[in-house]
Structure 1
Amino acid sequence: MLDLNNKSILITGGTGSFGKAFTRIILSRYPNVRRLVILSRDEQKHFQMGMDYPEKDYPAIRYFVGDVRDKNRLLRAFEGVDVVIHAAAMKHVHIAEYNPMECVKTNILGAENVINAALSCGVKDVVALSTDKAAAPINLYGATKLASDKLFVAANNIRGNRDVKFSVVRYGNVMGSNGSVMPFFMNKKREGVIPITDPRMTRFNISLDDGVEMVMNALESAWGGEIFVPKIPSYKITDVAEAIAPECKQEIVGIRAGEKLHEEMITASDSLNTWDLGKYYAILPQKPNFDLEDYVKKFNAKRVPDGFSYDSGKNTEWETIASLREQIKIHVDPNFSI
């Protein structure tokens, strides 16, 4: 059973939506956590988060201003840290398309800095957050996250005799996170028109809390090199609009640069190395640093069929308009009503 009491934990991008949810759950579940380091380059978000979690009331918290692009700052931040959760990223598709090298510097070079700092400072567990856009990417953001995933998986090959594991969690759109579609539609509702990129569009759906539980699962069960993928429902973008604003006109505005109609989390090419673990899938390295037979026995893992893919448009589990309204009220806005 995972026990993070008396551990020192650091989360990059810790002032973002995921970081705040992770912080809330860690502090409630592990009251004796030794240190929880919130690393982020945004001092204003540090200030705002400090109002919710003041250090005088939460003595384990450290607010550490820093950028994953800065190697030396990471080396200082990672001193004495047991667990690193890497959530920092440039994630807006259209901004990455317009500022490509800034995205590369944060999402790829930043990932390499996190890996090297973890190896240098004796970190025991590293879990990196990925995205469905990293599977068969067609935009720069997805391509940088795919490269990041590859770096974290390969980091297990260079750890030598260090007692450290690197793994990745990959999931879909997070309800209520900064820049996500549900808060966007809720704001647009006031204008009477909901912009729809394409009525055929689908996406995977996960809550912030379920994303945190994925990270907890990786910390507890990773052997090193896995890309964990959750079994989660999809939604149609038109159903989200109908759930939030049934009285509004839906206006088709066209797909933006770098967007897909449907998202994949596991491609057919990945199927050769993908195993069904029950609640999650795991894409394993082609040459894992552990005995595959032992892994299969430990998790009762079953290989997926050749050619298997996990696509939001071909999913077997779907959110309905009613379930979306319920989820929005729970995870996005408790005062939501239509």
Structure 2
Amino acid sequence: MSYRQRLNLFIFLDSCIILMAIFLSLFLVNANFHVLALPVMITSTSILISHHIFSFMFKIYKKAWEYASIGELIIIFKVVTLSIIIAVFAQLLIINEIYFRLLAVTWLLHMLFIGGSRFCWRIYRDNFLNKTDNKKRTLIIGAGSAGTMVARQLLKNNDADLLPVAFIDDDSRKHQLDILGLPVYGGVNRIENAIQNYNIENVIIAIPSLSQKKLNTIFRECAKTKAKTQILPMLEDLITGKIAVTQFRDVQVEDLLGRKPIELDIESISDSITNKIVLVTGAGGSIGSEICRQISKFHPQKLVLLGHSENDIYEIEMELHEKFGHADMEFPTEIADIQDAKKMMDVMNRHHPHVVYHAAAHKHVPLMEYNPEEAVKNNVIGTKNVAEAASWHGVETFVMISTDKAVNPTSVMGATKRLAEMIIQHMNKKSRTKFVAVRFGNVLGSQGSVIPLFKKQIKKGGPLTVTHPDMLRYFMTIPEASRLVIQAGALARGGEIFVLDMGDPVKIVDLARNLIKLSGHSIDDIGIEFTGIRQGEKLFEELLNQNEVHKQHVFPNIYIGKASELYLREIEELLLTFSIIDRKVLRETLLHLANNKGNLIPERAMSVSG
């Protein structure tokens, strides 16, 4: 039906409704039509004309009545009331008398018939056109403005595959009330009961201001059931129109482990990066590539991408060109091995960077236990090569990415990273370059981390392998870690070991359970298998040892560790002899030295590896 046809139909129907309301009101007030012929004609004419005029003014004929709500009802009230007021003035001016009873009953009937005619289509659509047989019964967590918006959108959208049936809200004033015809069942502690009683298949968390702690509480309650749990999209995505309010996303591990957004000191970061030349080693890795993304937002003059894997470097180069190529930035690539000292000198000489972020490293704990000499080559010698090249060519700031495993290390990887820290701190003492290191724990989703492993195991049907039920780890998202690394670089004065506040540690077994649930499976279906602690692993990690603890923050979420004793002579001795040391003895020597006990290499260390 065209707009003109629809308009003519509404005008005709409204005219019939008005006349019917007037003549029915005559009958109800027992009025004599012959006596009131003139007042009736005046009333009918004035109401008919004024109703259509006000309907056009308030655009009542343009409303989509299948979606009618309180707003439309208020507009109808205004149109009807103003029409009756015009009739009052018409009676007063023409016959000098007002028939209040007739007008009052006419107003009631007018309101009833016009409103009823409009809302009957909404009622028909909701009750007969909306097919709910194949829709998933849905519980909405949060009966505030966001939750009611979600419910309204789902109720009016016939194509949606979710059917809201109830709310959960901790506001006790809403309990036992109905919102949009849906009951508010109770607080978060009643989620499990609500899911059982209403046969819920889907749960939608619709609280934009939800804290991470509260989200964990809600998710734990939902995890007791088989219902799928989803969350409202981010508000900025809704506001910008990227996604609709009904495009819910699954709850991610990052949601459960994340913290409040970190506020950065944009001015200090801009001063250290904008229009500067920046070099990132390991630029193709998970941390290095994210550092590149974050740095590019501050518009450096040139961002040098250095890495060993040509495919990874190619991918980050293409991504940065696509996102930031219009900003007049250069992204030169260097396929190089940090173990090649001459190549590091050549790279520094060609680009003369102002800032270096050193993210290249071997970080896989079990693999480095079996290949300690490779850990020494990459993590210690590689760091030394890059640091010396940076110092020689006058780099302003050198930021090394370290790890919590460098604290009281029990693994080869942690030990080599601790030795690399010592080299960095020593370089700071003899160079004009400001050398600093940044420590943080596990990064969610990074290459070689536990999250991708768990996801692969879930995809294969399980079980998930966890080394020990009490294994604890610190976790941080890749963007969060990268932003704090850049902030630490801006705070650098030289010689510091910056420690990122990782929040509370998380049990790996809890992480495994959450991932299973988030993937839509049950723990019984997938299973969790404990394999035992591997060589070099600790039950829990530390960010500072007792000698390094410095409680005061230098910036929100960033500490500075106190300097500890350095063993540069012993490290130099180790680097001259490590290639002829037996692997087992090399591991012992690395741990001995990294734990601040000096380089007491026993004679058997000099035996040639078999």
Same fold per superposition (TM over 0.5)? yes
Q: Which runs of 4 or more aligned residues in structure 1 lie more than 4 Å from their structure 2 counterparts after TM superposition?
A: none
State the TM-score, normalized to the length of structure 2.
0.45
Superposed displacement of residue 269, structure 1: 2.6
Superposed displacement of residue 76, structure 1: 1.5
Superposed displacement of residue 274, structure 1: 5.9
2:298 counterpart residue number: 30
1:207 counterpart residue number: 477
Is 2:458 the partner of 1:185?
A: no
Is 2:502 the partner of 1:232?
A: yes
CA distance 1:120–1:42, shift in 2 (3 Å): same
Q: 1:173 aligns with which of 425, 442, 453?
A: 442
**SS of match in other structure, 1:150:** helix
Q: 2:374 aligns with which of 102, 120, 125?
A: 102
Matches within 5 A, 1:240-319: 240-246=511-517, 247=522, 248-271=526-549, 275-277=552-554, 278-285=556-563
Q: Residues of 2 paired with 1:85 and 1:150: CA distance?
A: 17
Matches within 5 A, 1:75-86: 75-79=345-349, 80-86=352-358
2:384 partner amino acid = E
Superposed displacement of residue 281, structure 1: 1.6
Higher relative contact order (CA 8 A, sep 6+): 1
Q: 2:424 aligns with which of 144, 148, 152?
A: 152
Superposed displacement of residue 6, structure 1: 1.2
Q: 1:46 aligns with which of 313, 325, 335?
A: 313
Q: Residues of 1 paired with 2:318 and 2:491: CA distance?
A: 34
CA distance 1:6–1:51, shift in 2 (3 Å): closer
1:92-128 C-alpha deviation (Å, 9 max, x unpaired): 1111111111110110011111111011111000000
Q: Residues of 2 paired with 1:236 and 1:147: CA distance?
A: 28
Q: Residues of 2 paired with 1:46 and 1:168: CA distance?
A: 24
**SS of match in other structure, 2:435:** strand
Superposed displacement of residue 174, structure 1: 0.3
2:288·2:360 contact (CA, 8 Å) conserved in 1?
no
Q: Considering only aligned residues, what root-mean-square deviation do their CA atoms show, in Å?
A: 1.8
Is 2:337 the partner of 1:74?
A: no
Is 2:491 the partner of 1:221?
A: yes
State the TM-score, normalized to the length of structure 1.
0.79
1:41 partner amino acid = H
Is 2:359 the partner of 1:87?
A: yes
1:40·1:66 contact (CA, 8 Å) conserved in 2?
yes
Name whichever structure is richer in strand by fraction.
1
Q: Residues of 2 paired with 1:220 and 1:114: CA distance?
A: 20
Is 2:343 the partner of 1:65?
A: no
Q: Residues of 2 paired with 1:19 and 1:93: CA distance?
A: 19
2:547·2:564 contact (CA, 8 Å) conserved in 1?
no
**SS of match in other structure, 2:474:** strand
Superposed displacement of residue 52, structure 1: 2.2
CA distance 1:148–1:193, shift in 2 (3 Å): same
1:292-325 C-alpha deviation (Å, 9 max, x unpaired): xxxxxxxxxxxxxxxxxxxxxxxxxxxxxxxxxx
Q: Residues of 1 paired with 2:539 and 2:376: CA distance?
A: 24
Superposed displacement of residue 47, structure 1: 2.6
Task: Select between 168-177 and 248-257 the one with higher mean Cα deviation.
Answer: 248-257
Q: Residues of 2 paired with 1:112 and 1:105: CA distance?
A: 10
**SS of match in other structure, 1:133:** helix
**SS of match in other structure, 1:263:** coil
1:302 counterpart residue number: none
CA distance 1:221–1:196, shift in 2 (3 Å): same
**SS of match in other structure, 2:547:** helix
* Unpaired runs of at least 5, structure 1: 288-338
Question: How many percent of aligned residue pairs carry the same amino acid?
Answer: 35
CA distance 1:283–1:156, shift in 2 (3 Å): same
Q: Residues of 2 paired with 1:50 and 1:219: CA distance?
A: 23
Q: Residues of 1 paired with 2:531 and 2:545: CA distance?
A: 28
**SS of match in other structure, 2:325:** coil
Superposed displacement of residue 283, structure 1: 0.9
Q: 2:290 aligns with which of 21, 28, 31?
A: 21
Name whichever structure is richer in helix by fraction.
2
1:274·1:284 contact (CA, 8 Å) conserved in 2?
no
- Residue correspondences, number: 281
1:74 partner amino acid = M
**SS of match in other structure, 1:53:** helix
**SS of match in other structure, 2:332:** strand
Superposed displacement of residue 50, structure 1: 3.3
2:466·2:509 contact (CA, 8 Å) conserved in 1?
yes
Q: Residues of 2 paired with 1:42 and 1:286: CA distance?
A: 35
2:325 partner amino acid = D
CA distance 1:156–1:50, shift in 2 (3 Å): closer
Superposed displacement of residue 24, structure 1: 1.3
1:203·1:237 contact (CA, 8 Å) conserved in 2?
yes
